[in-house]
């Protein structure tokens, strides 16, 4: 399925907030799959009432498009977690070039990062590489490790072909599909 707002190879666009229309450089890495513009637009329309001042965690950040979009729309902070060194370098360069504040990048595997000292988050973006099948494991670590505030929102992006098993106390708020991608917003 074609996205009418598809960016040129190697670049994607921030679609709202103070950084609207800013471009992010995207490294050419196997399996790197930035969230489509129309999916981000839908997600942030859903999040509009809660994004201002939110503490966010962008696990398996990749390009960081979700977290940077959150910062652009008024999130207080975003902790980006990415294991690929080239993606980390590109993410740090994009944050510096855009002169953003409130974003920190951790070069780490998401599961190992979640074994550290928890910092409760208001919003978590859970979008691991589809081929690794990490949704259930990371969701359990988030829930049991103290990473979620009492009323946290959790965005989950997965393959349309497989539904991840998530904690029973995560209530589905909204969901949609775009091509082979299923995206859903849950509230704890």
pLDDT per residue as tens digits for the range 74-92: 999 999 999 999 999 999 9
- Indicate the angle between helix axes 37-47 and 65-72, nearest 10 degrees: 40
Q: What is the pTM of this model?
A: 0.90
Q: Quick one: CA dihedral 62, 66, 70, 75, positive or negative?
A: negative
Ordered alpha helix ranges (H), the chain = 37-47, 65-72, 85-97, 110-113, 135-144
Task: Please write the tens of the pLDDT for every residue from 93-106.
Answer: 999 999 998 999 99
Which is it for strands 55-59 and 121-126: parallel, antiparallel or unpaired?
parallel
* Confidence at residue 123, expressed as pLDDT on a 0 to 100 scale: 98
CA dihedral 154, 160, 162, 167 (to 10 degrees): 20
Looking at domain 11-187, what is its CATH homologous superfamily? Vaccinia Virus protein VP39 (3.40.50.150)
Three-point CA angle 138, 85, 71, nearest 5°: 65
Confidence band of 66 (pLDDT split at 50, 70, 90): very high
* Confidence at residue 36, expressed as pLDDT on a 0 to 100 scale: 83
Give the least confident one: 41-50, 103-112, 159-168: 159-168
Q: Which residues pair with 123 in a beta bridge?
A: 56, 153
Longest dimension (CA), the chain: 42
Please provide residue 7's backbone torsions phi and psi, each rounded to the nearest 5 degrees.
Answer: -90, 165
Task: Evaluate whether 187 touches 170 at the Cβ level (below 8 Å).
Answer: yes
* Confidence at residue 32, expressed as pLDDT on a 0 to 100 scale: 77
Task: Please write the tens of the pLDDT for every residue from 17-48.
Answer: 999 988 987 887 877 778 888 999 999 999 99
Q: Quick one: CA dihedral 8, 9, 15, 21, positive or negative?
A: negative
* Confidence at residue 75, expressed as pLDDT on a 0 to 100 scale: 98
What are the structural domain ranges in the chain? Answer: 11-187
Task: Evaluate whether 137 touches 107 at the Cβ level (below 8 Å).
Answer: no
The candidate with the shortest Cα–Cα distance to 76, out of 53, 57, 106, is 53
pLDDT at 6 over 60: no
């Amino acid at each position: 399925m074609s996205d009418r707002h598809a960016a040129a190879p190697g670049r994607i666009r921030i679609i709202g907030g103070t950084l609207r229309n800013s471009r992010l450089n995207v490294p050419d890495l196997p399996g790197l799959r930035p969230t489509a513009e129309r999916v981000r637009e839908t997600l942030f329309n859903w999040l509009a009432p809660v994004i201002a001042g939110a503490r966010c965690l962008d696990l398996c950040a990749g390009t960081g498009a979700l977290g940077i979009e959150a910062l652009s729309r008024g999130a207080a902070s975003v902790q980006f977690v990415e294991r690929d060194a080239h993606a980390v370098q590109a993410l740090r360069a994009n944050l510096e070039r855009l002169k953003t504040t409130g974003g920190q990048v951790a070069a780490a595997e998401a599961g190992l990062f979640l074994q550290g000292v928890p910092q409760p988050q208001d919003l978590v973006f859970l979008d691991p590489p589809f081929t690794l099948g990490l949704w259930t494991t990371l969701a359990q670590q988030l829930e049991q490790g103290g990473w979620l505030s009492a009323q946290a929102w959790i965005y989950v992006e997965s393959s349309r072909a497989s539904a991840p098993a998530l904690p029973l106390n995560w209530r589905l708020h909204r969901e949609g599909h775009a091509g082979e991608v299923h995206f859903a917003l849950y509230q704890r």
